[in-house]
Amino acid sequence: MNIILLGPPGAGKGTQSQRLVEKHGMRQLSTGDMLRAAVKAQTPVGIQAKAVMDAGELVSDTIVSALISDELASMGNDVGAIFDGYPRTEAQALMLDEILQQHGRTLAHVIELEVNEDALVERITGRFTCASCGKGYHDKFERPKQEGVCDRCGGTEFKRRPDDNEETVRTRMAEYRAKTAPILPVYEARGIVSRVDGMADIDAVTDSINAILEG
Ligand code: AP5
Ligand code: MG
Ligand code: ZN
């Protein structure tokens, strides 16, 4: 099963993807994570993407689509894909259709996390992740069970994203409204969009998503 998780920055796409990976053995394909890895490794793509990401703007459609295509090519066809933060423009949505077709895959669901943008700034500025395994946390909403120690891997180092400041978040939200939200009608016409209340607590959101996947 292949699904898209759609929603503005901080909506919970990454948080819910990690849970779907654990429960259903699916693979998370986050273009944001792939780009951050490229920035860290200083690949040509990373060098080009860094300033764009720091400004909260969108990286080119061809770059992110190539990342997705490569990742799918490396996966077994029996493993479901969770597209997290991709597609983000109409052009990317068209490219994804082609890529899926090449791999003999179809989209089962597009799940939109509906959220109140004002609450998202608090979510994003409080976010941090384990430096070793990438598990996501939040200063207020999801602290490690033991202070300073990762629940999943026992790591003791954590990191924060350079684009998680209020000013950049506002730009990221504006990009979402202008370029990403308009792709929803395309999927609505295919009857595959479901909406989930992304303001509910993290476990309740997971339950709603699982109900859609199992329904
Ligand atoms: P990307 O990494 O995709 O960032 P984003 O879309 O801005 O989304 P976030 O990762 O910030 O939010 P999320 O929905 O995953 O929230 P999370 O689960 O972490 O992209 C970054 C940049 O890369 C872009 O700006 C762009 O430059 C570039 N890029 C990436 N993809 C691209 C593409 N396709 N095309 C072009 N450019 C691209 O949750 C946030 C926090 O809230 C966490 O701390 C979590 O613990 C907490 N939380 C989650 N759910 C809840 C809840 N229900 N209640 C309370 N707290 C919660
Ligand atoms: Mg994310
Ligand atoms: Zn960890």
Task: Check pocket membership of 120 for ligand 1, CB cut-off 6 A.
Answer: no
Going from the Cα of 85 to the center of ligand 1, the distance in angstroms, rounded, reads 7
Mean pLDDT lowest among 31-35, 119-123, 200-204, 210-214: 119-123
Q: Which amino acid is it at 190?
A: R
- Percentage of residues in the chain with pLDDT exceeding 70? 100
Task: Give the count of alpha carbons within 13 A of 189, CB side only.
Answer: 4
Q: 58, 59, 57: which is closest to 46 by C-alpha?
A: 59
The rounded Å distance from CA 120 to ligand 1 centre is: 10
What tokens does 2 get?
Answer: 């292949």
The pTM assigned to this predicted structure is: 0.95
Q: What is the pLDDT of residue 155?
A: 98
Chain mean position to CA 210: 17
8 in contact with ligand 1, CB cutoff 6 A: no
Q: Which atom of ligand 1 is nearest to the CA of 35?
A: 23
Strands (E), the chain: 2-6, 27-30, 81-84, 107-114, 127-130, 136-138, 158-159, 193-197
Residue 215 confidence (pLDDT): 83
Q: Which of 123, 173, 180 to mutate to test the pocket of ligand 1 (most atoms within 8 A of CB)?
A: 123
> Cis peptide before 87, with omega less than 30 degrees from 0?
yes
How distant, in Å, are the alpha carbons of 59, 91, 103 from that of 117?
22, 25, 36
The residue whose CB lies within 8 Å of the most ligand 1 atoms, and thus the one to mutate among 59, 82, 95, 183, is 59
Ligand nearest to the CA of 153: 3
Structure confidence by residue, pLDDT tens digits, 150-199: 999 999 999 999 999 999 999 999 999 999 999 999 999 999 999 999 99
pLDDT at 118 over 90: no
Distance 149 CA to ligand 3 centre (A): 8
Supply the pLDDT for residue 77. 87
Cα–Cα distances in Å, from 150 out to 111, 137, 146, 189?
A: 29, 9, 8, 42
pLDDT in the model for residue 123: 93
Pocket flag, ligand 1, residue 68 (CB < 6 Å): no
- For the Cβ of 14 lying below 6 angstroms from any atom of ligand 1, the answer is yes
- Say yes or no: CB of residue 86 within 6 Å of ligand 1: yes
Give the tens place of pLDDT for each residue, 134-143.
Answer: 999 999 999 9
Closest-CA residue, ligand 1 atom 6, reads 9
Q: Which residues are catalytic?
A: 13, 88, 127, 161, 172
**H-type helices in 56-140, by residue range?**
61-73, 90-102, 117-125
Mean per-residue pLDDT for 198-214? 97
Per-residue pLDDT at 117: 87
Q: pLDDT digits over 10-31, tens only?
A: 999 999 999 999 999 999 999 9
**Distance of alpha carbon 5 from the chain centroid:** 7
What's the 186 CA to ligand 1 centre distance in angstroms?
22
Average pLDDT value over all residues in the chain: 96
Percent of the chain with pLDDT over 90: 97
Measured CA to CA, the distance from residue 64 to residue 50 in angstroms comes to: 13
Residue 12's nearest CA partner among 174, 202, 178, 209 is 202
